[in-house]
Amino acid sequence: MTKLFSFSLGIGTKNKDDQWLEVYYPQPLANIDADTSAQLITAVSIAGIEWNAGNEVIPLNETDLNQLADALVTHQQIELANIAAKLVSSKRDAVLTLLTTDDKPTTVPEAYLKLHLLSHRLVKPHEINLEGIFASLPNIAWTNDGPIDLDELSEKQLEARREGRWLNVKCIDKFPVMTDYVVPSGVRIAHTARVRLGAYVGEGTTIMHEGFINFNAGTAGTSMIEGRVSAGVFVGEGSDLGGGCSTMGTLSGGGNVVISVGKQCLIGANAGIGIALGDNCTVEAGLYITAGTKVTLLDENNNTVKLIKARELNGQTGLLFRRNSTNGTVECKSNRSAIELNEALHSHN
């Protein structure tokens, strides 16, 4: 019996050419065990829904949904059965997306399912294949009337005016606001437009007004985010990103290098990193460290150990990065609040 990577019932929007614009999945499943996979596959078969046993997007009509709801109840998948039953009377298109493998997304429903998996905290950043996701997602006008195909926008604007309404175009983007699809438990988000669908926002996270989290990025748990968490960047438990600070993601100059922030780190206001930080690291406010930044290592007595490039400190713990106020050089020494001292800072070799 085939084991499923993901299974979800969704409801979405199409344009006039019957092309998907977006899909909402209220309760996606991921990394499904063998027994549950068998139950779901059998239910699909009993409902008479044709499936080729691979990754597939299957449009569902009322008959499909009714039969699937009954079959899911029979196989003890009550919550999914309830969703299927509620979609029967939907004015928008319903869809079943089945993924047997974690291949790159090639359709809008597949891409949206993977973004949902991240924001539902079912997978973490870098745990699933998102290669080519930009090519799968259309650029959309996100409005108070919902998503609109850009080629149909002017017609919709005129229609709204004729009806005495105002069509507010909130943004033009491939990625929607996360909270229009998923609201994770235990978080505070001051400005929801600054968190994209596909962000992983750990419980206990606070995102202030200037904070931003991109897709395939996020926080492991309790963190204060007042800066930018770029695509691909994952922030460890208890870390604080100060106002206006920046993390260099895979879409913003980092290439294929994975930038991450460890536990209990502080990146000061208007600072930034282009290397990974281990646990218990601090970057002084206003200091931007790239992989090629020349860094002077200091010992506990502030004596110079050696001059290196920041990439050599990539991922190491217990570091304090600061700029010398006299000569402007970037310095690094052991962070006094660190649990473990970094041996490299105490070596004169």
Q: Are residues 73 and 209 in the same domain?
A: no
Q: Which is it for the CA torsion 56, 57, 62, 65, positive or negative?
A: positive
Selecting among 210, 226, 300, 331, the annotated active-site residue is 226
Does residue 131 form part of some domain? no
Strands annotated E in 221-312? 224-225, 228-229, 234-235, 240-241, 246-247, 260-261, 266-267, 272-273, 282-283, 288-289, 294-298, 304-309
318, 123, 125: which is closest to 234 by C-alpha? 125
Q: Are residues 184 and 317 in the same domain?
A: yes
Rg of the chain's alpha carbons, rounded to an integer?
Answer: 24
State yes or no: pLDDT of 342 exceeds 70. Answer: no
* CATH number of the domain where residue 103 is located: 3.30.70.2010
Q: Residues 127-134: what's their mean pLDDT?
A: 95
Q: Residues 205-221: what's their mean pLDDT?
A: 97
> What confidence score (pLDDT) does residue 1 get?
59
Q: Are residues 209 and 328 in the same domain?
A: yes
The whole-model pTM stands at: 0.92
State yes or no: pLDDT of 59 exceeds 80. Answer: yes
Contact by Cβ (8 Å): 222, 202 = yes
State yes or no: pLDDT of 343 exceeds 50. Answer: no
Residue 334 bridge partners (DSSP): 319
| 226 labelled catalytic | yes
186, 226, 182: which is closest to 202 by C-alpha? 186
Measured between alpha carbons, how far is residue 171 from residues 93, 146, 177, 182, 213 in Å? Answer: 23, 11, 10, 18, 16
Average pLDDT, the chain: 93
* pLDDT (tens digit per residue) in 1-34: 578 999 999 999 999 999 999 999 999 999 999 9
* pLDDT (tens digit per residue) in 137-179: 999 999 999 999 999 999 999 999 999 999 999 999 999 999 9
d(CA 123, CA 113) in angstroms, rounded, equals 12
* pLDDT (tens digit per residue) in 220-234: 999 999 999 999 999
135, 132, 112, 230: which is closest to 181 by C-alpha? 112
Token reading at 298 = 């200091």
Which stretches within the chain are classed as H helix? 34-46, 62-74, 78-87, 108-119, 133-136, 153-162
d(CA 227, CA 229) in angstroms, rounded, equals 7
Does residue 295 form part of some domain? yes
| Polymer length in residues for the chain | 349
Q: Residues 329-346: what's their mean pLDDT?
A: 62
* pLDDT (tens digit per residue) in 42-55: 999 999 999 988 99
d(CA 18, CA 149) in angstroms, rounded, equals 11
Look at the chain and report how many structural domains it folds into.
Answer: 3
* pLDDT (tens digit per residue) in 71-127: 999 988 999 999 999 999 899 999 999 999 999 999 999 999 999 999 999 999 999
128, 218, 158, 153: which is closest to 182 by C-alpha? 218
Contact by Cβ (8 Å): 282, 266 = yes
State yes or no: pLDDT of 341 exceeds 50. Answer: no
Does residue 308 form part of some domain? yes
Contact by Cβ (8 Å): 280, 339 = yes
Does residue 240 form part of some domain? yes
User: Domain limits at 148?
Assistant: 142-173
> What confidence score (pLDDT) does residue 300 get?
85
Q: Are residues 291 and 308 in the same domain?
A: yes
Q: Are residues 61 and 160 in the same domain?
A: no
Task: Please give the share of the chain, as a percent, with pLDDT higher than 70.
Answer: 93
Contact by Cβ (8 Å): 208, 178 = no
State yes or no: pLDDT of 338 exceeds 50. Answer: no
* pLDDT (tens digit per residue) in 233-259: 999 999 999 999 999 987 554 456 789
Contact by Cβ (8 Å): 308, 291 = no
Among the three residues 130, 157, 173, which one is the final residue of a domain in this structure?
173
Q: Residues 311-330: what's their mean pLDDT?
A: 94
